[in-house]
Structure 1
Amino acid sequence: MADLVMSQEEERIMGQLMIPSQPTVLRAIAAEVEKEEGDLAQVARLVSEDVSVSGGILLVVNSPLFRRRREISSIREAVMLLGLQRVYSVARTVALRNALSHLPRMHEFWKSSVTLAEACGAAARRVKRPDLLDDAYLVGLFHLVGVPALRSVFGEAYETVERQADLKGWPSAIHEEQRRYGVSHDRLGALITQRWRAPTSVIQATAHQYQVQRLDMLVTLHPDARDLLVMLKLALRATTAVDPARMTYADWEATQDFLADYLALDVQSLDALVDELT
């Protein structure tokens, strides 16, 4: 499962994005995760010392994704409830989001992305892959992050691509991006998550997010990548009211038969599944 290899142009654009390296707290948590018996109390202390990460963890742990009956206000309690691996996953998501906060119009981007990420988590449960809940959330949150990244590099010149996407959906923008800039937002989003050592399944699902017709190919890249891509498409359909450009009716028409076949459902049952995600 090799890493994505950057083209010369992709490497140049990644260099302009000024994405910082992983913060010390994240590397320290990763070190605890790799131990045979990681120290939860030490992880709680590390998280508590980083205000941005600790605040983000509390927001996530109290979101609909985790279905808590009462609000969690203590980092120590959050860490004990989540466990090492999940704390690391959530902390990485929060820290990467913080690292990208300098990109233009990110408040608007996160608002719709969080809704989509929560729908991806719901899809993970509905297709009986709760073990992929955190990865599904990560895909939902960051799969389109290549768009603000390209906007930050090319400024007003990128608005032409965005207007096209508003009319025809983001899949239609890929060829225009490649023609103009030598890189597309799906690849760039995957490269950003790869730089922060996201799971390979997340990276590959992001890189191939418009290739539902090639689901079998994704198995060779990572066994879980195709399930994550299916969850993403279901969530996109369920949240079209939030950002219609992310999943147009034409996009859904082109993908629903592949999704139905993969999930062994008829189209009516697939629609019913989507309705359950909102």
Structure 2
Amino acid sequence: MSHIVSPDLVKDRIERLPLLSATASALLQLLQREQYSQAEVVRLVETDAALTTCILKVVNAPSFGLGQQVHSVARAVSFLGDKLVTAIALGNCAHQVYNHALGGYEGSAGQLWEHSLATAIAAREFARLMTPPVPLGLAFTAGIVHDIGKSVLSEFLEGRSQSLLETLDAQEIEDFALAEAQALGTDHARLGALLARRWQLPEPLVQAIAYHHTPSRAAPPWQGLCCAVHLGDALAMCLGLDTGCDALQYGLDDLTCATPDLSPAVMDVLVFTVHHEFQKTRTMFFG
């Protein structure tokens, strides 16, 4: 049974979430550029004491395996890389989005963060194959933020997820996002785009969030980016890194047919690379 969510109620829930920190916003703006320097990343991090502390904690953790203490932001950024620093900045200031349980999706606390991280790594690898090229930093960041709408929609899905899955099993509807829209009048991609605009994210990231399940509907300049995230999202779910009951309940958009070679040999390399990079990066965060 449908229960259309009031736009005012959605707006209220989105406005309750904290804004991104100035540093996280600036890093997101920086990574969407095709050219930037590591020195610019360092300068931004150095202005944020909390982020500096978090980054030094990660790079000095035994699991990182450096075997030496790092005390400067510049060295920490050189070891971690600009993309991972941006991911840390987002996770640090948007913990209410990434680290809360997704009850409506039957997902546990931290599951959204792990899925987002895996999607980011996979989207970066797919971006290497896109024509025209998609900036790797932009693809990674888009993967990190693609599912932020689930943190808002989860509340409204409480107690409804199984009925949505039943409509999918009965082939009454094509995928979970369409089931969300039918039941609630909106879906996590649309709500994510609204949250992204509240956070004042760059337009390419808004597009990637809004159309990560339907890249063919994105504005033409950003279809390649959306396609990289779309495929990265699917690969993350195939690796068992999902957000709960909606795992593998989405179809592949027709635009994926226009991507470069995705032969079994290429996919084998992609799967190995993404899994290896995810495990290495996850260890940095969680030990």
Please give the TM-score of this superposition, normalised by the length of structure 1. Answer: 0.65
Task: Write the distance in 1 (CA, Å) between the matches of 2:227 and 2:29.
Answer: 32
TM superposition shift of 1:20:
0.7
1:177 correspondence with 2:174: no
Structure 1 residues 195 and 29: CA distance shift in structure 2, 3 A = same
How many residues align structurally?
245
1:218-237 CA deviation, whole Å, 9 max, x = no partner? 21xxx2x2111221233234
Task: Write the distance in 1 (CA, Å) between the matches of 2:145 and 2:40.
Answer: 29
1:101-140 CA deviation, whole Å, 9 max, x = no partner? 4643331222232222211122223437776222222222
1:229-258 CA deviation, whole Å, 9 max, x = no partner? 22123323433131574445x824xx4x64
CA contact (8 A) 1:126 1:273 kept: no
Task: Write the distance in 1 (CA, Å) between the matches of 2:75 and 2:111.
Answer: 31
| Secondary structure in structure 2 of the residue aligned to 1:20 | coil
Task: Write the distance in 2 (CA, Å) between the matches of 1:172 and 1:273.
Answer: 27
1:157-183 CA deviation, whole Å, 9 max, x = no partner? 343366459868x96233332333222
CA contact (8 A) 2:120 2:140 kept: yes
1:71-108 CA deviation, whole Å, 9 max, x = no partner? 8944232346789x869854653345424246433312
Task: Write the distance in 2 (CA, Å) between the matches of 1:135 and 1:165.
Answer: 35
CA contact (8 A) 2:98 2:151 kept: no
| Secondary structure in structure 2 of the residue aligned to 1:157 | coil
TM superposition shift of 1:200:
1.0
| Secondary structure in structure 1 of the residue aligned to 2:111 | helix
| Secondary structure in structure 1 of the residue aligned to 2:195 | helix
Structure 1 residues 139 and 274: CA distance shift in structure 2, 3 A = farther
Where does residue 191 of structure 1 map in the other structure? 194
Alignment match of 1:263 (pick from 254, 259, 270): 259
1:100 correspondence with 2:108: no
Structure 1 residues 50 and 150: CA distance shift in structure 2, 3 A = same
- 1:78-117 to 2 correspondences below 5 Å: 78-79=76-77, 89-90=86-87, 93-95=90-92, 97-101=94-98, 103-104=100-101, 105-117=108-120
CA contact (8 A) 1:124 1:132 kept: yes
CA contact (8 A) 1:9 1:183 kept: no
| Secondary structure in structure 1 of the residue aligned to 2:20 | coil
Where does residue 277 of structure 1 map in the other structure? 270
- 1:14-93 to 2 correspondences below 5 Å: 14-17=11-14, 18-26=16-24, 42-47=43-48, 49-51=49-51, 54-55=53-54, 73=70, 74-79=72-77, 89-90=86-87, 93=90
TM superposition shift of 1:13:
0.9
Q: Which has the higher contact order (CA 8 A, sep 6+)?
A: 2
The structure that is helix-richer by fraction is 1
1:13 correspondence with 2:10: yes
Where does residue 127 of structure 1 map in the other structure? 130
Q: What is the aligned-residue RMSD (CA, Å)?
A: 4.5
Where does residue 229 of structure 1 map in the other structure? 226
Where does residue 141 of structure 1 map in the other structure? 144
Stretches of structure 1 lacking an aligned partner (at least 5 in a row): 1-7, 63-67
The percentage of counterpart residues that share the same residue type is 18
Structure 1 residues 87 and 131: CA distance shift in structure 2, 3 A = farther
